[in-house]
Amino acid sequence: MFDDKVSKKLYDRAGERLATGVSTVFRRSVTPTPLYMTHGDGPYLFDVDGHKLLDYGLAWGPLILGNNHPKLNEAITAQLGRGYTFGYQHEGEILLAELMCKVVPGVEQVLFSNTGSEAVQAALRIARAYTGREKIVRFEGHYHGWMNNVLVKADDDAPTCGGSAPTVGGQPADELANTLSLTWNDIEAVRKAFDAHPDQIACVITEPLNINNGSCMPDDGYLQGLVDLCHEHGALCIFDEVVTGFRIALGGAREYCGVQPDMSTYAKAMAGGFSMAGIGGRRDIFDTLSDGRTTHAGTYNGNPICLTAAFMTISTLSEPGTYDRMNRHGHAIREALERAATDNGHQLITCGAGTAFSAHFDLDAPPRNHLDVVQANVAKNDAFRALMLEQGVACLPAGRWYIGAVHTDDELDITLPAIEQAMKSI
Ligand X SMILES: Cc1ncc(COP(=O)(O)O)c(C=O)c1O
Mask: binding to ligand X, 130-149, rule CB under 6 A, as x and -? -------------xxx----
Strand partners, 274: none
Nearest to 267 by CA among 124, 83, 59, 125: 59
- The residue (of 145 and 330) whose beta carbon lies closer to ligand X is 145
Site for ligand X in 198-217 (CB under 6 A): 207, 212
Could you say which of 223, 242, 309, 389 contacts ligand X (CB under 6 A)? 242
What is the arrangement of strands in the sheet containing 400-402, beginning at the earlier edge strand?
Answer: 348-353, 356-361, 400-402
**Residue of this chain nearest to ligand X (CB atom):** 116
Please give the Cα distance from 213 to 132 (Å, whole number).
31
Could you say which of 45, 124, 180, 243 contacts ligand X (CB under 6 A)? 243
Regarding 115 and contact with ligand X (CB under 6 A), the answer is yes
- Residue 188, Cβ neighbours under 10 Å: how many? 12
Regarding 348 and contact with ligand X (CB under 6 A), the answer is no
Binding residues for ligand X, rule CB under 6 A, total 13
Regarding 240 and contact with ligand X (CB under 6 A), the answer is yes
Mask: binding to ligand X, 3-32, rule CB under 6 A, as x and -? ------------------------------
Q: How far is the CB of 241 from ligand X (least distance, A)?
A: 7
Give me the catalytic one of 44, 56, 266, 268: 268
Regarding 267 and contact with ligand X (CB under 6 A), the answer is yes
Q: Percent helix, strand and coil across the chain, each rounded to 5?
A: 45, 15, 40
Regarding 355 and contact with ligand X (CB under 6 A), the answer is no
**β strands within 220-322, DSSP E:** 236-240, 263-266, 277-281
- H/E stretch holding 164 reads none
φ/ψ of residue 127, rounded to 5: -60, -40
Strand partners, 139: 182
- The residue (of 252 and 367) whose beta carbon lies closer to ligand X is 252
Give me the catalytic one of 11, 56, 130, 143: 143
- For residue 96, what are the CA distances in angstroms to 83, 99, 228? 17, 5, 30
N-terminal to C-terminal alpha carbon distance within the chain: 14
Answer yes or no: 143 catalytic.
yes
Q: How far is the CB of 314 from ligand X (least distance, A)?
A: 17
Regarding 333 and contact with ligand X (CB under 6 A), the answer is no
The catalytic residues are 143, 240, 268
Catalog residues that contact ligand X under the rule CB under 6 A: 115-117, 120, 143-145, 207, 212, 240, 242-243, 267
